[in-house]
């Protein structure tokens, strides 16, 4: 072996070449110690490095604040920035009005996203306007034309009439400004659009957000229910969905052949709507529907389609929308099928036809079609009287001795369900009903019960199966209906006009019965962490009956002697309504709420919106009700009308809403509200 000894300089050059060969992209580095550099003298080793604490004299760089709260913007004062409340609002004593909304800052991309959504909403309103003019009924077109010609008719009013769930649109001039800002901010990046017959495609979250505070998705109320992309049909909830009841689609409906969709809707109906409005016998109906026998007298295609139309209110599946851009078109295809079947059977009175008419009335009421719903209810009343379901001469001709226990139970359920629904709708229009009491005692509906569990599973993997308490609910609804009948006789009977003193005495007796009903029913404390939905909702219904009674008394109190006391009691009951609904939200969220609570929310909002100025404790209850109203307003047209009215009062300066309530009703916090 031959060993070559190279000079030191050549060895260094050789190592340098090897380093270049192994890392061609890196430049060769030459290190030189202080001893090899003749320019600097050697230094003694110093003490080990210790990170000294920051000097108190050190001055940090001032943090730039790019966002001012809405209150400071209005007052044109300097704002210290988030979090809320800012220093300026604290000094001014307006902490409750301090609210930061980055989406209103036109420099931010989140404002661009909001503008894109609003431009899309304008497009949807225009498309719906053209469709209504082309294919709508003449009465609807005339009403729409009158609103357009009205100088005070706003774009919100027009969109609302077309069936869009709208918040306040921005100034169109602002939209053009932001459109220019979009072009300058995005550079060469173009926003993708679909064809002219579909909605605008949304940019992704990471494309539109540039900071954590801008990354929160903001959607208008329309987009939460109307914007469907090809992937909207596939969700984690739909993939994991296991309906409680498995029933076939055929031969009951021609709208769909999807057994999964029909089972999903039937499970939703018997979970959330049926317990507080029992028109059918759940066990008997499900058994006959599963058998698929078209000759059944208990389950018919008309009844099934009517039930599916009502159940669609609780579903967000794209398959239940007739028009994806109309939030209130849920179940319209099933309702149209039911109307077609009804026209061929309207001369055939039967229990199943009465039940179908009641469900059609309920579905139409959710859509805000009060007149058509009232007509279906009256048709059910004619059939029921003719079949002897109510006290009178007809009842004597229908002997119950030849009836089977099953038929007798179904007759009792149907008659009391019709009696209660008729009283509720009559109260809305402030009319007295001449309907007699049901011929059957409510106790004849039986004591059998079923298990109840929330469907879908919502935020928890498993829920403890609990009794549905259907019999107790029937008895409670019957007692409440009897009280409502006495209220209508007292307030709306034309033949019994009385002085306010006599009216007040009769009302006190009824009010005592309502208080006893509430005392006998479980209260908010007894419900616990996982309350049974229907028990909670029925308590809310009783509170609504009490608020409606007090509201009518205030209208009759022309001297104002008791108006203040009546309003105070109403405010207390509206707050209790909010407490009960908060328990429901904490247990089941906002997505699934029984339809029977819609009137209660409207009544409580009417009471509290005029109490905000004089009662500081009403703010929290009002905000809680706003959370329900903005979400349920996408499903129930009457609640949408109430929200629209409150927004109009706020914009006109009649009432001053809390800042959090404004942000909720404006739609900017709808996604957060749905997750609460």
The Cα-based distances of 337 to 300, 303, 306, 313, 344 in angstroms read 13, 11, 8, 16, 11
Cα angle for residues 89, 94, 96 (degrees, 5° grid): 110
Residue in 481, 592, 608, 503 with CA at minimum distance from that of residue 555: 503
Instruction: Give the percent of the chain with pLDDT over 70.
Output: 71
Mean pLDDT of 620-637: 92
Over residues 649-672, the pLDDT tens digits come to 888 888 889 888 988 887 655 544
Contact between residue 363 and residue 412 where contact means Cβ atoms under 8 Å apart: no
Contact between residue 133 and residue 145 where contact means Cβ atoms under 8 Å apart: no
Mean confidence (pLDDT) of the chain: 77
Over residues 226-253, the pLDDT tens digits come to 333 433 455 666 667 789 999 999 999 9
Residue in 127, 128, 116 with CA at minimum distance from that of residue 201: 116
Please give the pLDDT value at position 36.
52
- The least confident of 67-81, 186-200, 327-341 is 186-200
Measured CA to CA, the distance from residue 505 to residue 494 in angstroms comes to: 18
Mean pLDDT of 548-554: 91
Over residues 596-628, the pLDDT tens digits come to 999 999 999 999 998 888 887 899 999 999 999
Measured CA to CA, the distance from residue 241 to residue 264 in angstroms comes to: 8
Looking at per-residue pLDDT, the higher value among 250 and 199 belongs to: 250
Per-residue three-class SS string for 474-489: HHHHHHHHHHHHHHHH
Measured CA to CA, the distance from residue 14 to residue 20 in angstroms comes to: 10
Measured CA to CA, the distance from residue 582 to residue 632 in angstroms comes to: 14
Model confidence, pTM: 0.69
Please give the pLDDT value at position 470.
93
Over residues 415-472, the pLDDT tens digits come to 999 999 999 998 887 777 778 899 888 888 877 888 998 888 655 556 678 889 999 9
Measured CA to CA, the distance from residue 208 to residue 214 in angstroms comes to: 8
Measured CA to CA, the distance from residue 57 to residue 301 in angstroms comes to: 83
Burial of 68 (0-12, 13-18, 19+ CB in 10 A): buried
CA neighbours closer than 13 Å in the CB half-sphere of residue 251: 9
Looking at per-residue pLDDT, the higher value among 173 and 391 belongs to: 391
Mean pLDDT of 306-323: 92
Mean pLDDT of 477-505: 84
Cα 392 from chain centroid (whole Å): 42
Please give the pLDDT value at position 550.
92
Mean pLDDT of 212-228: 35
Over residues 49-91, the pLDDT tens digits come to 554 445 444 455 556 667 788 888 888 888 888 888 888 888 8
Over residues 373-410, the pLDDT tens digits come to 999 999 999 999 999 899 876 666 666 557 888 899 99
Residue in 622, 580, 581 with CA at minimum distance from that of residue 605: 622
Residue in 366, 372, 369, 367 with CA at minimum distance from that of residue 357: 372
Which letter does DSSP use for residue 61 in this model? P
Over 90: is that where the pLDDT of 528 sits?
no
Over 60: is that where the pLDDT of 495 sits?
no
Cα angle for residues 274, 277, 281 (degrees, 5° grid): 60
Compute, in degrees rounded to 10, the torsion defined by CA atoms 163, 164, 165, 167.
-130
Measured CA to CA, the distance from residue 307 to residue 292 in angstroms comes to: 16
Q: How many residues does the chain have?
A: 676
Instruction: Give the percent of the chain with pLDDT over 90.
Output: 35
Over 80: is that where the pLDDT of 208 sits?
no
Please give the pLDDT value at position 173.
41
Tokens of 601: 């929310």
Other CB atoms within 10 A of residue 84 CB: 16
Please give the pLDDT value at position 478.
95
Please give the pLDDT value at position 144.
80
Measured CA to CA, the distance from residue 470 to residue 478 in angstroms comes to: 12
Q: Helix, strand or coil for residue 547?
A: helix
| Phi, psi at 438, each rounded to 5° | -60, 145
**Reported confidence tier of residue 171, pLDDT bands at 50, 70, 90:** very low
Mean pLDDT of 531-553: 93
Measured CA to CA, the distance from residue 327 to residue 633 in angstroms comes to: 9
Mean pLDDT of 284-295: 94
Over 60: is that where the pLDDT of 102 sits?
yes
Residue in 369, 373, 360, 313 with CA at minimum distance from that of residue 595: 313
Please give the pLDDT value at position 363.
95
Query: Residue 424: in which H helix or E strand, if any?
Result: helix 405-428
Please give the pLDDT value at position 309.
96
């Amino acid at each position: 072996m031959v060993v070559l000894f190279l000079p030191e300089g050549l060895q260094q050059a050789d190592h340098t070449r090897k380093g270049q060969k192994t890392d061609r992209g890196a430049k060769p580095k030459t290190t030189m110690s202080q001893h090899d550099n003749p320019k600097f003298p050697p230094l003694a080793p110093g003490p080990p490095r210790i990170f000294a604490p920051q000097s108190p004299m050190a001055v940090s760089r001032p943090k730039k604040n790019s966002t001012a709260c809405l209150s400071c913007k209005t007052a044109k004062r300097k704002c210290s920035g988030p979090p809320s409340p800012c220093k300026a609002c604290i000094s001014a004593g307006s902490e409750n009005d301090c609210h930061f909304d980055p989406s209103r800052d036109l420099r931010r991309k989140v404002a661009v996203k909001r503008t894109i959504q609003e431009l899309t909403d304008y497009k949807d309103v225009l498309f719906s306007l053209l469709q209504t003019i082309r294919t709508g009924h003449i009465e609807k077109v005339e009403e729409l034309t009158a609103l357009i010609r009205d100088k005070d008719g706003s774009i919100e009013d027009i969109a609302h009439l077309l069936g869009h769930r709208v918040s306040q649109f921005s100034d169109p001039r602002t939209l053009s400004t932001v459109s220019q800002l979009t072009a300058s901010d995005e550079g060469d990046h173009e926003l993708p659009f679909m064809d002219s017959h579909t909605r605008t495609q949304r940019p992704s979250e990471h494309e539109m957000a540039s900071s954590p505070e801008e990354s929160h998705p903001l959607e208008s109320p329309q987009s939460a229910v109307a914007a469907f992309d090809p992937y909207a049909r596939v969700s984690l909830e739909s993939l994991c969905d296991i309906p409680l009841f498995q029933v076939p689609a055929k031969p009951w409906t021609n709208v769909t052949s999807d057994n999964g969709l029909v089972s999903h809707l039937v499970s939703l109906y018997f979970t959330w709507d049926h317990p507080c409005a029992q028109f059918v016998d759940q066990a008997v109906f499900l058994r006959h529907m599963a058998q698929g026998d078209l000759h059944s007298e208990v389950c018919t295609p008309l009844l099934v389609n009517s039930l599916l139309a009502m159940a669609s209110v609780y579903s967000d599946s794209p398959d239940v929308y007739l028009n994806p851009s109309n939030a209130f078109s849920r179940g319209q295809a099933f309702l149209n099928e039911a109307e077609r079947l009804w026209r061929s059977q309207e001369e055939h009175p039967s229990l199943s036809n009465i039940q179908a008419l009641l469900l059609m009335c309920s579905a139409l009421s959710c859509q805000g079609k009060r007149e058509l719903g009232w007509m279906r209810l009256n048709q059910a009343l004619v059939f029921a009287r003719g079949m002897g379901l109510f006290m009178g001469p007809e009842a004597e001709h229908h002997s119950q001795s030849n009836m089977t226990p099953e038929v007798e139970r179904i007759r009792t359920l149907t008659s009391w369900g019709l009696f209660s629904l008729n009283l509720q709708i009559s109260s809305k229009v402030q009319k007295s009903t001449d309907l007699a009491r049901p011929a059957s005692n409510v106790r004849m509906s039986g004591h059998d019960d079923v298990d109840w569990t929330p469907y879908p599973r919502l935020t928890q993997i498993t829920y403890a199966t609990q009794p549905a308490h259907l019999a107790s609910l029937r008895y409670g609804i019957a007692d409440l209906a009897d009280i409502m009948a006495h209220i209508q006789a007292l307030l709306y009977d034309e033949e019994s006009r009385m002085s306010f003193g006599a009216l007040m005495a009769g009302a006190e007796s009824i009010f005592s019965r309502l208080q006893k009903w509430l005392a006998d029913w479980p209260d908010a404390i007894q419900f616990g962490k996982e309350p049974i939905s229907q028990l909670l909702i029925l308590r809310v219904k009783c509170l609504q009956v009490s608020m409606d009674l007090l509201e009518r008394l205030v209208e009759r109190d022309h001297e104002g002697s008791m108006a203040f006391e009546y309003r105070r009691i109403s405010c207390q009951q509206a707050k209790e309504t909010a407490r009960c609904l908060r328990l429901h939200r904490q247990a089941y969220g906002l997505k699934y709420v029984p339809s029977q609570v819609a009137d209660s929310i409207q009544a409580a909002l009417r009471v509290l919106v005029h109490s905000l100025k004089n009662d500081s404790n009403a703010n929290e209850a009002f905000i809680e009700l706003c959370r329900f109203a903005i979400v349920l307003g996408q499903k129930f047209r009457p609640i949408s009308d109430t929200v629209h009215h409150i927004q109009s009062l706020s914009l006109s300066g009649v009432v001053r809403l809390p800042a959090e309530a404004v942000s909720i009703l404006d739609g900017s916090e709808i996604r957060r509200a749905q997750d609460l």
